[in-house]
Structure 1
Amino acid sequence: MAHYLESLLPVVEKPARYLGGEVNAARKNRGDCDFSFCLAFPDVYEVGMSHLGLSVLYGILNGEKKVIAERCFAPWWDMELLMRRKGLLLSSLESQIPLREFDMVGFSLQYELSYTNVLAMLDLGGIPIRRRDRRDEDPIVCAGGPCAFNPNPMADFIDVFAIGEGEDLVLEMARTYLEGKKKGKGRREILELLARIEGLYCPGIHDGKTRVKKRVVMDLNDSFFPTAPPVPLMKAIHDRITIEIARGCTRGCRFCQAGMVWRPVRERHPEIVEMLTESLVASTGQEEISLLALSAGDYSFISELITSLVQRYYNRRIALALPSLRVETLKGELIEEVKKVRKTSFTLAPEAGTQRLRDIVNKCNTEEDLIATVKKVFEAGWRSVKLYFMIGLPGETKRDLYGIGDLVHRLLEETKRGGGITVSVSTFVPKAHTPFQWEAQIGWEETSERQELLKSILRHRRLEFRWHDPRMSLLEGLFSRGEEDMGRLVEKAFILGCRFDGWAERFRFDLWQRAMDELGIVPEKILATRPLDANLPWDFIDCGLKKEFLLTELMRAQRGELTPDCRLDGCYGCGVCDGLSIRPVEANRLAEKSTSPCQAREEKLELCRYRFLFTKGEAMRFLSHLDVAALLQRSFSRVGLPLLFTEGFHPHPRISFAYATPVGMESEGEYGEMLLRYTLDEVDSLPPKINRFLPTGIEVKWIRRVPNEGPSLTESIDYFTFSAPLIGWSSSRREELKEKIKDFLSVEKFEIIRHRKNKEERRDIRPLVRDIYLNPQEEKLIMELFFTARGMVSPFHLLHEVLGLPLEDVKSVKIKKEATSFKLSY
């Protein structure tokens, strides 16, 4: 089936975003299913494919025989523009079904600045953006994620909000929808049925006063976790396996919404973590594992788990990564284990520059903790660390800002032989359901002034300073604590053209300012301090925390008093745990292993060189060379090839390729070479096994042993054969082409002008062309082009510069690499 965006893919940025067809992607016949759900992520493919929640829901839904779940991501601005010009509807990746034809469309609301993308996707998918305008034939539009804990700003556009954890909710929603449809119920009646489910808020049904209680997964060990998620076709933002080892946090940072709303703490048993990891490594071939938790260092047996995983995957050079860590939880043995394979980044979050302010926000660590930890990291061989700070916190003074500088400069002094330090500063945004939900947010001008002060303080050759756009923080603040009238602002900004507002290169604050001016919105009023006795717009959402607890924590913050972790010092009555159905769940100790894989790390190396041929077909011609290389590497890992890795800071497999075939070009003759640790048996049986783990359109044809010594793959190449279709060309046009070919081949020199870095370069391309001729039987133009130390001439340049095809026509020509010819065959 031709891709519905076929004509647009050659001219947009990163066309691989829109292809689909990944390994492990669901392949179901919609006609065999009773219910269809589109999981819509309001950001680009490479961001959405990094989101664990999407994979979880995708696996749960597609695990049901009669349910089909497909994915859709926000098209980048260039694709949206072209789709609107062509009148094309936004459709799913798997089956290319327009969004409006699904039973339900569900958005993941991870970030307030994705709200305009939600409206853009609805509109582009043929769904009325306002819920009141939808008819019975339109999908039910639902949304979940952390932003749903204040659903008000998006309440005009979303039919159903999922509050809390969705693993159990999503199938209950599907079954309720089907039950309603079977009984002939209309849209509103189905919404009324959904509104009865615990954890669902339906703005058109509920009155905004009825308490909506969040859903909680009681035990992670019993909950679904995806072991074969779709493998991204292109490099994802977080290009790794992600294993959730724990959910919830009771450290009690007073600014942190996630630490409040995702309580209680529940840990996944380490043996289950190991089983899940093994399945994911086998099903994806990824080379890095990330252990996910709000506070990974607090996981009960984190050291034992990391040691076990490093031992298991050392020989395969699969690295281990941890998320942002609390300073006081990063132990020396943890650092030593993580570094054994690859030194993944270390990110620490001191949050504030003075002990006084750290106490106010309940960050229970000290300056000495941070210095000791950074010393350990640098002594272990790391080249850099990242430090997260926050400005604009309640009670912050100029002394606290200078404190950030003092702390960082002391770190530099204490680690003179250390690496670089990246200081990343964000702006405090008060969030619903936190002790600071009543506090004011500083304006963006004040934020800019504080950032400028830090820039002047944080100057050093080993320092890199990063900051968040204060105008973005202003918008986050408006939506974090906004009421339903903020929906008017989202809609107005969408109409004015706002998209991808969290991306610096696409952020248009001028349009947001215009929207606020036209609607009479005064940000200062919304960002101001809230009265402690006020009815807050999100009070009807019950995340389990008592309001009295939040108020008590606010008072303790104002007095600079710490509240200890309840897992260490006993319950302090936050309200989440009822002791019966909802309670903390901690992991049990990892079982002792009789032998350690690390004892057999050293092996006798044989160093064998293998060459392989693969093809890149129509379905995957828009993948980049790097994307194809990554897919092949993962497939080799999945079949267990003993890849040889480089040494050093970032080990990678010794795989090389002959030539980077351009994006958009098919190829029947792609070659690569790899170094293996020992000789392979039954090498002829490998390609079918490897191809099982490659997307349709990439296929390994053969693998052969070649001598270890001798010229490299690129040195062995003589020329490439390319073809361009001539279907539909008139006889006179073909004759004209023949004359141009004849003229070109008859000369000894043919110069073209290329523009590089504002300079004109003349290049003689005649020696780079072996032959050009027409193949009338197949209606093709054949180009044989030498591959030399000077490089080669692009077949696209040849069509334009030599044969006179207009540049716009050349861009749409489907050139294909037919073969690669070698000077020496093995």
Structure 2
Amino acid sequence: MNHNLALTDEALLTIEKPERYIGNEVNSVIKDKGQIDIRFAFCFPDVYEIGMSHLGIQILYGMFNSYSDVWCERVYSPWMDMDALMRDKNIPLFALESQDPVKDFDFLGFTIQYEMCYTNILQVLDLSGIPLKSDDRTWDDPIVIGGGPCTYNPEPIADFFDIFYIGEGETRYRELFDLYKDTKKKGISREDFLHEAAKIPGIYVPSFYEVRYKGDGTIDSMNPVFDDIPRTIKKEMCTDLSHEFYPTKPVVPYIKITQDRVVLEIMRGCIRGCRFCQAGQLYKPLREKDVEYLKKIAIEALENTGYEEISLSSLSSSDYSKLPELIDFLIKSCNEKKINISLPSLRIDAFSLDVMSKVQDVKKSSLTFAPEAGTQRMRDVINKGLTEEDILRGSHEAFLGGWNKVKLYFMLGLPTETDEDIYGIGDIANKVAVEYFETVPKEKRGGRTIDIVASTSFFVPKPFTPFQWAPMNTKEEFLDKANKTRKGIMSQLNQKHIKYNWHEADASMMEGIFARGDRKLCDVILKAYEKGCVFDAWSEYFNFEKWMDTFKECGVDPFFYTTRQRADDEIFPWDLIDCGVTKAFLLREWKNALAGKKSMNCRQGCLGCGAASYGVGVCTESKVNA
């Protein structure tokens, strides 16, 4: 198949990493345009290396291309050098596989994983020549659709999308495509197509919902403008993951990307119930994949890609009930072929350490703990079931096994936090160092010593978590807390073995504004983009001052979304979405947090969060109901 590139060789030679734009990678799908009814451009609104590492696109790319009437292609945000070249030479943004302009496609789908990518969505629309606002589009433009975790509060970007798909993509796309084909045959209007689409479960068409505000800026009501579309949109969810499509021929890039390996998703959801964690609520209930199915998939994917590493993907791998069997199988089949196994998100216990010593080079790798908070009181508030004893016991076992690098992750700015909680971060790091010196006698250290890296990120309250009611710290408070943490670490006996990293406060504040924002932010985002804000997720391009000026110009108070304490009965912008977990449950958990009360995990007993309504996964395991 001849591969006509959208860019000339001369143009490609003027930009860094031209491989981002030429397509034709191993396992990418080329189809005959004459045989296709629907063309779908799938966009990850960030640079190629980040977007190519995303499992969700690989799943839907493979699934859509398994339909004989659909051709799905990929598109990513052009990096700044390429962006300038396209504007200068008037080259429209194109999809990688066919190199055809995105504007000529039927659908342009975005997966929205991170709030700081919002201006990149506008960059992609703009470079494609697609009107930025859905109201201005006609049948000459693609249907612009958004999915992914950020669409659980889609309101800050509602004006830019025709449709949001709420939930897991495997369930309803076929129905949407059939409706689209039918619509095109009948020649009905774009508006009528969207009206019919809004009746499909999981499909949210923001232009058909009207928001009214109270005098204080909070929401008074959100109602559909038609009687035949739902009041709330319930998330879509796969009920049997072992029989859903899973890609065993993922696209293999030419250049090194962030996650260069086969990714094996072993389950979805989590039983843990950490109160700050959005994913834990959105992907409830926990659903496991059948272990025999996983073995088969793993071998196929390794054969089809030539990758030398396989990684298990889930929110908490240790909770997968057949983990020992799966890992034994992988160790046997991967060792012969010199394939590495990486196991993120394990709880550090004797079993995990045993496994890790079998699959990792202990000398090189470091052990990761996420205590999230410096004191047990604070860990109880966030319902993080990890005690100091767990950390020290895990460290002790690890030091005996030859590890000497430890990473510790914490959050600053959690609800009810005090100075004691902040100084506790240094205490834990110091205790881990002490554990090392007590566990490994001098003569056994072989010239090595303990290396501890403590990192803090700033807490951002997210929708559909018990902390959605919580006020967020200001940038100044965050930096003050980072300073206290640093002082606390420097006052420790073993401070020279402890390195401290912290996050940027500006970006965290913006993330907090977008996370709990409403439709008033659409204008702010549009204006900021017009002033040149793009790649906000990259510190070298993020311009906080420009954003703050834009808020002022638009007459929108950014602190309304961050530092304000919410009333128990406030209507939130995301209340028209039902993620399966009830607001009453989240409120109960918020009150438990303020009282410092822990809750059990889903395998210990049911807390009645509402997710059992899906009738699958951990909710159906026989156990005593609380």
TM-score of the superposition, structure 2-length normalised?
Answer: 0.90
Distance in 2 (alpha carbons) for counterparts of 1:451 and 1:261: 30
Distance in 2 (alpha carbons) for counterparts of 1:422 and 1:172: 49
1:249 positional shift: 0.8
Partner of residue 350 from structure 1, selected from 371, 387, 402: 371
Tell me what 2:327 maps to: 306
Distance in 1 (alpha carbons) for counterparts of 2:295 and 2:616: 27
Tell me what 1:26 maps to: 29
* 1:328–1:483 distance in 2 versus 1, CA, 3 Å: farther
Q: How does 1:15-94 map to 2 (within 5 A)?
A: 15-94=18-97
1:586 positional shift: 7.4
Tell me what 1:185 maps to: 188
Aligned: 1:423 with 2:447: no
Q: How does 1:653-732 map to 2 (within 5 A)?
A: none
Tell me what 2:440 maps to: none
Structure ranking higher on relative contact order (CA contacts 8 Å, 6+ apart): 2
Distance in 2 (alpha carbons) for counterparts of 1:65 and 1:347: 45
Whether the 8 Å contact between 1:310 and 1:341 is mirrored in structure 2 is no
Distance in 2 (alpha carbons) for counterparts of 1:571 and 1:126: 50
Secondary structure of the corresponding residue to residue 40 of structure 1: strand
Q: For residue 255 of structure 1, what is the amino acid of its counterpart?
A: F
1:155 positional shift: 0.2
Aligned: 1:278 with 2:319: no
Whether the 8 Å contact between 2:551 and 2:557 is mirrored in structure 1 is yes
Whether the 8 Å contact between 2:466 and 2:589 is mirrored in structure 1 is yes
1:346 positional shift: 3.7
Whether the 8 Å contact between 1:161 and 1:200 is mirrored in structure 2 is yes
Tell me what 2:516 maps to: 481
* 1:514–1:330 distance in 2 versus 1, CA, 3 Å: farther
Partner of residue 466 from structure 2, selected from 406, 428, 435: 435
Alpha-carbon deviations, 1:725-753, whole Å to 9, x = none?
xxxxxxxxxxxxxxxxxxxxxxxxxxxxx
- Give me the identity figure in percent: 44
Distance in 1 (alpha carbons) for counterparts of 2:63 and 2:543: 38
Aligned: 1:555 with 2:591: yes
Runs (5+) with no aligned partner, structure 2: 211-221, 224-230, 438-444
Secondary structure of the corresponding residue to residue 578 of structure 1: helix
Distance in 1 (alpha carbons) for counterparts of 2:581 and 2:411: 24
Q: For residue 559 of structure 1, what is the amino acid of its counterpart?
A: A
Partner of residue 417 from structure 2, selected from 396, 419, 426: 396
Aligned: 1:264 with 2:267: no
1:283 positional shift: 0.6
Distance in 1 (alpha carbons) for counterparts of 2:334 and 2:618: 34
Tell me what 1:635 maps to: none
Secondary structure of the corresponding residue to residue 310 of structure 2: strand
* 1:341–1:227 distance in 2 versus 1, CA, 3 Å: farther
Whether the 8 Å contact between 2:108 and 2:142 is mirrored in structure 1 is yes
Aligned: 1:170 with 2:173: yes
Tell me what 1:333 maps to: 354
Aligned: 1:492 with 2:513: no
* 1:241–1:344 distance in 2 versus 1, CA, 3 Å: farther
Whether the 8 Å contact between 1:109 and 1:147 is mirrored in structure 2 is yes
Whether the 8 Å contact between 2:6 and 2:100 is mirrored in structure 1 is no
Tell me what 1:237 maps to: 258
Whether the 8 Å contact between 1:195 and 1:206 is mirrored in structure 2 is no
Whether the 8 Å contact between 2:318 and 2:345 is mirrored in structure 1 is no
1:327 positional shift: 4.5
Aligned: 1:468 with 2:503: yes
1:583 positional shift: 6.0
Aligned: 1:505 with 2:536: no
Whether the 8 Å contact between 2:520 and 2:556 is mirrored in structure 1 is no
Whether the 8 Å contact between 1:267 and 1:585 is mirrored in structure 2 is no
Partner of residue 600 from structure 2, selected from 557, 564, 569: 564
Distance in 2 (alpha carbons) for counterparts of 1:143 and 1:580: 27
* 1:41–1:390 distance in 2 versus 1, CA, 3 Å: same
Whether the 8 Å contact between 1:339 and 1:380 is mirrored in structure 2 is no
Q: For residue 542 of structure 2, what is the amino acid of its counterpart?
A: F
Secondary structure of the corresponding residue to residue 423 of structure 2: helix
1:584 positional shift: 4.0
Which piece of structure 1 moves more, 457-466 or 495-504? 457-466
1:551 positional shift: 1.0
Tell me what 2:571 maps to: 535
Distance in 2 (alpha carbons) for counterparts of 1:190 and 1:347: 49
Tell me what 1:250 maps to: 271
4+ runs deviating over 6 angstroms:
none
Q: For residue 123 of structure 1, what is the amino acid of its counterpart?
A: D
Distance in 2 (alpha carbons) for counterparts of 1:282 and 1:571: 41
1:344 positional shift: 5.1
Tell me what 1:3 maps to: 5
1:328 positional shift: 5.9
Distance in 2 (alpha carbons) for counterparts of 1:38 and 1:383: 46
Q: Which has the higher helix share?
A: 2
1:338 positional shift: 2.9
Whether the 8 Å contact between 1:378 and 1:415 is mirrored in structure 2 is yes
Whether the 8 Å contact between 1:129 and 1:157 is mirrored in structure 2 is yes
Alpha-carbon deviations, 1:704-745, whole Å to 9, x = none?
xxxxxxxxxxxxxxxxxxxxxxxxxxxxxxxxxxxxxxxxxx
Which piece of structure 1 moves more, 375-384 or 239-248? 375-384
Q: For residue 79 of structure 2, what is the amino acid of its counterpart?
A: W
Which piece of structure 1 moves more, 185-194 or 148-157? 185-194
Aligned: 1:215 with 2:215: no
Distance in 2 (alpha carbons) for counterparts of 1:520 and 1:353: 39
Tell me what 2:384 maps to: 363
Aligned: 1:109 with 2:130: no
1:566 positional shift: 1.9
Secondary structure of the corresponding residue to residue 458 of structure 1: helix
Secondary structure of the corresponding residue to residue 613 of structure 2: coil
Distance in 2 (alpha carbons) for counterparts of 1:560 and 1:268: 35
* 1:270–1:64 distance in 2 versus 1, CA, 3 Å: same
Secondary structure of the corresponding residue to residue 400 of structure 1: helix
Aligned: 1:385 with 2:387: no
Distance in 1 (alpha carbons) for counterparts of 2:617 and 2:352: 31
1:374 positional shift: 2.4
Distance in 1 (alpha carbons) for counterparts of 2:5 and 2:68: 26
Aligned: 1:458 with 2:494: no
Secondary structure of the corresponding residue to residue 538 of structure 2: coil
* 1:328–1:175 distance in 2 versus 1, CA, 3 Å: farther
Which piece of structure 1 moves more, 212-221 or 306-315? 306-315
Whether the 8 Å contact between 1:98 and 1:126 is mirrored in structure 2 is no
Distance in 2 (alpha carbons) for counterparts of 1:377 and 1:86: 57
Aligned: 1:324 with 2:355: no
Q: For residue 236 of structure 1, what is the amino acid of its counterpart?
A: I
* 1:449–1:488 distance in 2 versus 1, CA, 3 Å: same
Distance in 2 (alpha carbons) for counterparts of 1:386 and 1:357: 20
Distance in 1 (alpha carbons) for counterparts of 2:516 and 2:401: 43
1:250 positional shift: 2.0
Q: For residue 192 of structure 1, what is the amino acid of its counterpart?
A: H
* 1:82–1:378 distance in 2 versus 1, CA, 3 Å: farther
Tell me what 1:762 maps to: none
Tell me what 1:125 maps to: 128
1:3 positional shift: 2.0
Q: For residue 560 of structure 1, what is the amino acid of its counterpart?
A: G
* 1:329–1:167 distance in 2 versus 1, CA, 3 Å: farther
Which piece of structure 1 moves more, 21-30 or 509-518? 509-518
1:347 positional shift: 2.6
Distance in 2 (alpha carbons) for counterparts of 1:102 and 1:215: 25
1:206 positional shift: 3.6
Runs (5+) with no aligned partner, structure 1: 588-826
1:165 positional shift: 0.6
